């Protein structure tokens, strides 16, 4: 996709490592000017140097921090065309005896609030450009049951719901909103799971495979889509089938 995003300005959150790093590198290779956002200042600056871009420290769970990130980008580059709302963390607790309110709030703040706040903050900038593209990083956990981590599944299902709903809602403004839903992909989130994945013979998806899917989403024409990324399969939008609409009979 060399040159496909020439002249475009992109924000990538959670870009200091893993999926966000791969997204930032891929966007830069395709010609975009990239603002790297993360709480990891060292890693973020290293990625910014690699893409000849800018680094901005940002806690995505803070609305004002999201607004400041967008204003920084507009001041430096004149606008925003693409926002990859990728930052996320593992939950680290369940709803039983291991429930930890602080960990719960941290996960919901990064994984869900970060998408909502990021969208709210960037919309005026996209509208000023006549439209643009937002891609939120959800997870296969947003499409399937995850008994081992129901709270992570809950916030990722919420991101999927946002994508499906905001896609058509924002379409009249030429703003496309989609989500990417990778399985076990190379990132810090899977660090506690690596031994289990290895024992079960489950491959880890390269971060580049997820970045490639994201660039396909951004360059495509779809909106309200949730693309799955799984080993051995072509990334594509998940088909939500057989959901009964209002007034339709539901089988018993």
Residue 189, classed as helix, strand or coil, is helix
Nearest Cα to 225, choosing from 168, 185, 151?
Answer: 168
- The answer to whether residues 15 and 32 touch, using CB atoms and an 8 Å cutoff, is no
CA distance 88 to 115: 9
Write down the residue that tokens 């369940």 correspond to.
Answer: 94
For residue 143, the number of C-alpha atoms closer than 13 Å in the C-beta half-sphere is 22
Catalytic pick among 152, 177, 227, 228: 152
Half-sphere exposure of 102 (CA within 13 A, CB side): 0
104 among known catalytic residues: no
Spatial distance between the Cα atoms of 44 and 242, rounded to a whole number of angstroms: 43
Burial label, 121 (beta-carbon count in 10 A; 0-12, 13-18, 19+): buried
C-beta of residue 90 within 8 angstroms of C-beta of residue 192: yes
Residue 133's DSSP bridge partners are: 82, 176
CA distance 153 to 140: 9
Q: Annotated catalytic sites, by residue?
A: 152
């Amino acid at each position: 996709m060399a040159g496909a995003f020439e002249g475009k300005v992109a924000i990538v959150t959670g870009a200091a490592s893993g999926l966000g790093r791969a997204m930032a590198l891929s966007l830069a290779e395709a010609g975009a000017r990239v603002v790297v956002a993360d709480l990891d200042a060292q890693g973020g600056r290293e990625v910014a140097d690699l893409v000849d871009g800018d680094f901005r420290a940002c806690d995505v769970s803070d609305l004002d921090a999201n607004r400041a990130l967008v204003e920084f980008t507009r001041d430096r580059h004149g606008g925003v065309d693409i926002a990859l709302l990728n930052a996320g963390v593992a939950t680290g607790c369940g709803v039983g005896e291991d429930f930890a309110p602080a960990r719960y709030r941290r996960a919901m703040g990064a994984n869900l609030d970060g998408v909502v706040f990021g969208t709210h903050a960037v919309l005026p900038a996209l509208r000023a450009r006549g439209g643009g593209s937002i891609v939120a990083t959800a997870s296969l956990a947003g499409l399937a049951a995850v008994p081992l981590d129901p709270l992570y599944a809950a916030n990722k299902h919420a991101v999927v719901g946002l994508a499906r709903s905001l896609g058509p809602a924002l379409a009249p403004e030429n703003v496309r909103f989609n989500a990417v839903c990778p399985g076990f992909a190379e990132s810090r989130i899977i660090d506690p799971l690596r031994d289990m994945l290895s024992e079960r013979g489950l491959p880890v998806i390269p971060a580049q495979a997820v970045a490639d899917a994201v660039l396909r989403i951004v360059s495509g024409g779809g909106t309200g889509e949730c693309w799955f990324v799984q080993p051995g399969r072509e990334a594509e939008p998940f088909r939500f089938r057989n959901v009964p609409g209002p007034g339709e009979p539901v089988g018993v």
